[in-house]
A = this chain, B = another copy of it.
Amino acid sequence: MRYELYYWPEIQGRGEFVRLALEEGGADYIDVARRRGRGRDAIAALIHREGIKRRPYAPPVLKAGKLLIAQTALILHYLGPPLRLVPRGEADRLWALQLQLTITDLVKEIHDTHHPISTALYYEDQRPAAMHYTREFWRNRVPKLLGYFDDVLRHSRGPYVFGGRRSYVDLSLFQIVDGLRYAFPKRMRRFENKVPRLTQLHDAVAERPRIAAYLQSERRIPFNEWGIFRAYPELDG
């Protein structure tokens, strides 16, 4: 099966969680909007196609044969079995998706550090609210959420959430740590020793051969200030 990923070509964004899974799973896939000359038009053409019956709300969208699947966590849930990125049993698949949905919640909160009021406004027009949001986020939410995942890894005995076997959840947690380090280098340096198992998971994922190759390739879009993780020094405390 050749998968087609439809996602914004300029950013890692939510699509990056899918890209990491496709790469680690060794999937045959096309990052459609990044192919020369297609860009964002390819996404619009897919979502607003005449006669489409089940229109996805927003990218990322995975095309798998005739199926169109949107919502990052659902795409990963779907890709898990064929790419061997989740154990087979029902309880394990439910646990993986439960964890992924909590990562989804965290991603939204990370995004809101720079856009707490509206995505329709520029960052510069909501900066005071962003600074307030970010302070509270690092005071309350980061310890609670990253602490939760560190606790999950304590129970699994690591390095991954299913123990010795990596899953799509681990790839996403790698991206969370990587992105927080980019966006909040000072805060993250101070905080990270409180979640040592997450740091270890990040390193274990980064060293996996396919991920290491991907991260060094041109397929990995660098972090920038249009995505979820944005390096605004005034938010870094």
Contact = CB atoms under 8 A, between A and B. Distances in A.
Contact of A98 (B74, B129, B155): B74
Number of copies of this kind of chain in the complex:
2
Interface residues of A, number: 44
Contacts of A45: none
A155 B49 CA distance: 13
A122 interface: no
B117 A98 contact: no
Nearest to A67: B91
A101 interface: yes
Contacts of A74: 94, 97-98, 101
Interface of A: 53-57, 67, 69-71, 73-74, 77-78, 91, 94-95, 97-98, 101-102, 104-105, 108, 112, 116-121, 126, 129, 132-133, 136-137, 139-141, 145, 148, 151-152, 155
27 contacts: A54-B95, A54-B152, A55-B148, A55-B152, A57-B102, A57-B148, A67-B94, A70-B102, A71-B98, A71-B101, A74-B94, A74-B98, A101-B101, A105-B108, A116-B116, A116-B117, A117-B129, A117-B132, A117-B133, A117-B136, A118-B132, A118-B133, A118-B136, A118-B137, A119-B140, A120-B140, A129-B129
